[in-house]
């Protein structure tokens, strides 16, 4: 089940060294407003992530095969302040059986929450739901979210080779501030599934405002412009 552990801080608000185990609090379970476990039937909850919008903080996670969300107070992060609400249910052929691994980012006034559909293996896909950002929307209301009816990322050809079982990704940024996407894809050779590898990809945006996760190398930079030269001249202002 979902637990939280926190890095301790000095009296001046700076963090302790995160590499030392004793600088972390003892993990404690995240409970609902009544102090009950998040999934009382199966007692399984996982893949929890955090998002903040309009001053309100939320957890999103997977339980009973779908994505749930609830608000919480950062001053008391182990206890929800609202009852969990279901916002993503697997319903298409490509996300059947399960929706898991939520992760969110805000871009141009929209919250983009990705999730993994189908089962771990070559059928893994990446789905997407969106919601308005910065407008005070109640993100625990399922009607606020709009679900894309096709996978944002799936198995296919990438740079001339098969890329299979793409899923369970997260947004991040590189050292230059570029948005990147980190995700799993399957090791699959000679008809046998052999686990998962991690991939990192630069995120691009279409003119319609949708994230592009699989722009190929040749598309990122036109080979005709791979070598750029410049002549600089100087002149005397007098």
> Confidence class of residue 223 from pLDDT cuts 50, 70 and 90?
low
Mean pLDDT of 46-71: 97
What is the number of alpha carbons within 13 Å of residue 199 lying toward its C-beta? 19
User: Per-domain residue ranges for the chain?
Assistant: 30-222
CA atoms of 61 and 52, how far apart (whole Å): 14
Predicted confidence (pLDDT) per residue in 84-104, tens digit: 999 999 999 999 889 999 999
CATH architecture observed for domain 30-222: 5 Propeller (2.115)
Mean pLDDT of 112-138: 94
Model pTM? 0.89
Beta-sheet strand order (sheet of 125-132): 99-107, 110-117, 125-132, 146-147
């Amino acid at each position: 089940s979902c637990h939280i552990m926190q890095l301790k801080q000095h009296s001046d608000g700076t963090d302790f060294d995160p590499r030392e185990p004793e600088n972390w609090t003892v993990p404690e379970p995240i409970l609902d407003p009544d102090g009950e476990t998040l999934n009382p039937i199966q007692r399984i909850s996982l893949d929890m992530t955090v998002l903040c919008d309009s001053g309100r903080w939320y957890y999103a996670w997977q339980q009973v095969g779908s994505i749930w969300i609830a608000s919480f107070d950062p001053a008391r992060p182990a206890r929800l302040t609202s009852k969990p609400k279901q916002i993503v249910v697997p319903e298409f052929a490509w996300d059947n059986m399960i929706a898991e691994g939520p992760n969110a980012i805000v871009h141009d006034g929209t919250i983009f929450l990705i999730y993994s559909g189908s089962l771990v293996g070559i059928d893994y896909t990446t789905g997407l739901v969106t919601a308005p950002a910065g407008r005070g929307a109640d993100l625990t209301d399922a009607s606020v979210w709009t679900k894309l009816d096709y996978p944002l990322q799936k198995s296919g050809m990438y740079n001339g080779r098969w890329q299979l079982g793409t899923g369970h990704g997260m947004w991040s940024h590189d050292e230059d501030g570029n948005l990147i996407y980190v995700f799993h894809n399957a090791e699959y050779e000679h008809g046998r599934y052999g686990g998962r590898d991690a991939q990192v990809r630069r995120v691009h945006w279409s003119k319609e405002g949708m994230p592009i996760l699989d722009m190929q190398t040749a598309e990122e930079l036109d080979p005709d412009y791979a070598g750029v030269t410049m002549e600089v001249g100087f002149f005397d202002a007098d």
